Amino acid sequence: MAEGFVVDTESDGESGLRRAVEEQFDLIVLDLLLPGAGGLDVLAELQRRRLQVPVLVLSARRDLETKLRGFELGARDYLPKPFALDELIARVQVHVRRGQMEEHQTVLRFGRIALDVARRQAIVDGNVTALADREFRLLHHLLLHSGAVISRERLLAEVWGYHFDPASNVVEVCIRRLRKKLGPNASIETVRRAGYRLTAA
């Protein structure tokens, strides 16, 4: 028991993967450098099996390529080493709480924006707008991280997939379409050299 969490540990990739598949967890904290199957291999197998448990990656590898690969394989978060224990605990709390909310919530809300996940519709001040698949995924991702700045690279990895050219302008184009559909009462802010975030109007 740590900070109110029940924690189970495994020291190698194969054992951790087996338990992740056979048991139910609120969150997996995964180191990339593991004996046997590495962390990226574990992530790939979790994705292949379509397990929905969120994964927080810990790694001494800080390069962008490894981070994007982790997000492409389904990681929810990536915390480079060294890190403060308090930050790890805070991130764990956020992901566990978010997972509990998602289990019971079919409508996500932030400020004047609401997203009906079941119907794939955005609602702003009572006005309903149908969204294309990628628009829905992008808005859903921003709402799950509402108020936080999400980098363009992370959006490419998590919403489009790593196979998209990092030089592509697909993120900017989709952001423009979303802004037009949501109207002036919903704000997707561009944070220069950092990314995008939803701001409460």
pLDDT value of residue 185: 76
Q: What is the mean pLDDT of the chain?
A: 84
Res. 51: pLDDT tops 50:
yes
Q: Which residues contact 156 (CB under 8 A, 6 or more apart)?
A: 68, 162, 164, 166, 168, 170, 171
Res. 1: pLDDT tops 50:
no
pLDDT value of residue 125: 84
The more confidently predicted of residues 193 and 28 is 28
13-103 and 106-199 have identical folds = no
Where are the alpha helices (H) located in 49-84, listed in sequence order? 64-72
CATH code matching the domain that covers 13-103, chosen among 3.40.50.2000, 1.10.150.110, 3.30.2130.10, 3.40.50.2300: 3.40.50.2300
> What confidence tens digit (pLDDT) does each residue in 141-200 have?
998 888 888 888 888 888 887 566 667 788 999 999 999 999 887 789 999 888 998 886
By residue count, the chain amounts to 201
d(Cα 182, Cα 113) in Å, to the nearest integer? 8
pLDDT value of residue 100: 63
Q: Tokens 């956020």: give the residue.
A: 94
> Which fold is adopted by the domain 106-199?
Arc Repressor Mutant, subunit A (1.10.10)
Res. 29: pLDDT tops 90:
yes
pLDDT value of residue 109: 85
> What confidence tens digit (pLDDT) does each residue in 96-128 have?
877 666 555 578 888 888 888 878 889 888 888
Residue boundaries of the structural domains of the chain: 13-103, 106-199
Question: What is the pLDDT averaged over residues 28-50?
Answer: 86
d(Cα 48, Cα 41) in Å, to the nearest integer? 10
Q: Among residues 106, 101, 126, 131, which one has the least CA distance to residue 118?
A: 106
pLDDT value of residue 54: 87
Whole-model pTM: value is 0.53
Report percent pLDDT > 70 for the chain: 91
Res. 7: pLDDT tops 90:
no
d(Cα 161, Cα 165) in Å, to the nearest integer? 9
The more confidently predicted of residues 201 and 85 is 85
pLDDT value of residue 162: 59
pLDDT value of residue 105: 58
Q: What are phi and psi of 127, to 5 degrees?
A: -90, 125
